[in-house]
């Protein structure tokens, strides 16, 4: 779908808007993040919290929902307190309708966190964290699609 938008829109601004709308309306999403450096558990949780706050500030979820969902998901990562985040770790969010599957895998492929959630608050919170109006990721993620397109044309 994204490739067809990139191919059909002549104006990059219009294409960005179309991509953002398509992602927010998508039934399924896969978001995968590979960590490029070591970090501590606290920074990981701070990043997750800022994502849920962005969803709330983007009016995609209410504050009590933000607090509850962040509390639930952050508890799943308690096992990483001592270890922290290591370079090469991967955090994956798989959204299918209102079902959210979260996986955290080490560089050797060992699953360290596995959690499943259901409810529209998880779908909206996840989409808002990455693509809501107030998300710190939104612009970078959409821009990366255009950079990928340009790299493929070269």
Which pLDDT does position 138 carry in this prediction? 81
**What percent of the chain clears pLDDT 70, i.e. is strictly above it?**
88
pTM, to two decimals: 0.85
pLDDT at position 13? 76
The domains located in the chain, with CATH, are 2-153 (3.50.70)
- For residues 75 and 115, give the distance between their C-alpha atoms in angstroms, rounded to a whole number: 10
pLDDT score recorded for residue 139: 81
Q: What is the DSSP string of the chain?
A: -HHHHHHH-SSHHHHHHHHHHHHHH-SEEEEEEE-SS-B-HHHHHHHHHHHHHHHHHTTSS-HHHHHHHHHHHHHHTGGGTTT-B-TT-EEEEEEETTEEEEEEE-TTS-EEEEEEEESHHHHHHHHHHHHSTT-SSHHHHHHHHHHHHHHHH-
What's the confidence (pLDDT) of residue 50? Answer: 95
What is the model's pLDDT at position 19? 80
Low-confidence stretches of the chain (pLDDT beneath 50): none
Q: pLDDT at position 129, please?
A: 93
Q: Please, are residues 88 and 34 in contact by the beta-carbon 8 Å criterion?
A: yes
Q: Tell me, what's the pLDDT at 100?
A: 97
Question: So what's the pLDDT on residue 32?
Answer: 92
Mean predicted lDDT score pLDDT of the chain:
89
């Amino acid at each position: 779908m994204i490739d067809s938008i990139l191919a059909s829109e002549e104006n990059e601004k219009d294409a960005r808007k179309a991509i953002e709308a398509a992602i927010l309306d998508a039934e399924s999403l896969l978001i995968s993040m590979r960590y490029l450096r070591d970090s501590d558990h606290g920074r990981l949780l701070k990043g997750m919290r800022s994502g849920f706050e962005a969803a709330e500030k983007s009016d995609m979820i209410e504050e009590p929902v933000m607090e509850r969902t962040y509390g639930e998901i952050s508890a799943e990562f308690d096992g990483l307190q001592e270890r922290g985040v290591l370079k090469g770790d991967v955090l994956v969010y798989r959204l299918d309708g209102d079902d959210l599957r979260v996986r955290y895998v080490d560089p050797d492929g060992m699953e360290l966190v596995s959690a499943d959630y259901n409810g529209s608050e998880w779908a909206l919170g996840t989409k808002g964290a990455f693509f809501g109006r107030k998300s710190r990721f939104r612009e970078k993620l959409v821009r990366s699609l255009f950079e990928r397109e340009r790299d493929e044309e070269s």
